[in-house]
Amino acid sequence: MTLQTAQIETAIHDIHDFFTDWVGGRCPGDAETFKKNALDRISDNLVAIFPAGRRFGKDDFKGYMSSIYGSNPEFRIRISDIRINHVSDTMAVVNYQEWQKAAKDSDRPNNGRITTMVLGEKAPGSIEILQVHETWLPEEVVAAGDFEF
């Protein structure tokens, strides 16, 4: 059975909603909450490349995210324009826009990026994130962006 659009979109929104809640301190900060909502959703072989070219694996992600729990209550993420480019029974490649507001760890606290994500079926009905690659949106697009979210 081919991965379903709703399943893919839910996976993308859920992980970003959790990141926002984790960084903002709006969810429990214990290891089990982090494991269930983040680590269990990403591949052990995760490759993440951020807009400035920094590369992360799952262990890097775990260490970094664990260290920033509750560090920025104003931080928000908005996901838009999800486009499923390729989909098969067990994998999907998607692009979407990720808008960040009040991002303390970014050169531009209000920023936008295009994200390419590769998702794979972990088990029937369960998706995991295999790869993420982000690229900055052009400055003029970000300048015209709506950060009221």
Distance separating alpha carbons of residues 7 and 18, to the nearest angstrom: 16
Identify the pLDDT of residue 107.
82
Quick check: is 127 in a domain?
yes
Domain count, the chain: 1
41: domain CATH number?
3.10.450.50
The model's pLDDT over 61-95, given as tens digits with 9 standing for 90+, comes to 999 999 999 999 999 999 999 999 999 989 999 99
The model's pLDDT over 116-133, given as tens digits with 9 standing for 90+, comes to 999 999 988 889 999 999
Beta bridge partners of residue 94, listed in sequence order: 84, 117
Domain interval for residue 80: 5-143
Closest CA to 70 of 127, 23, 138: 23
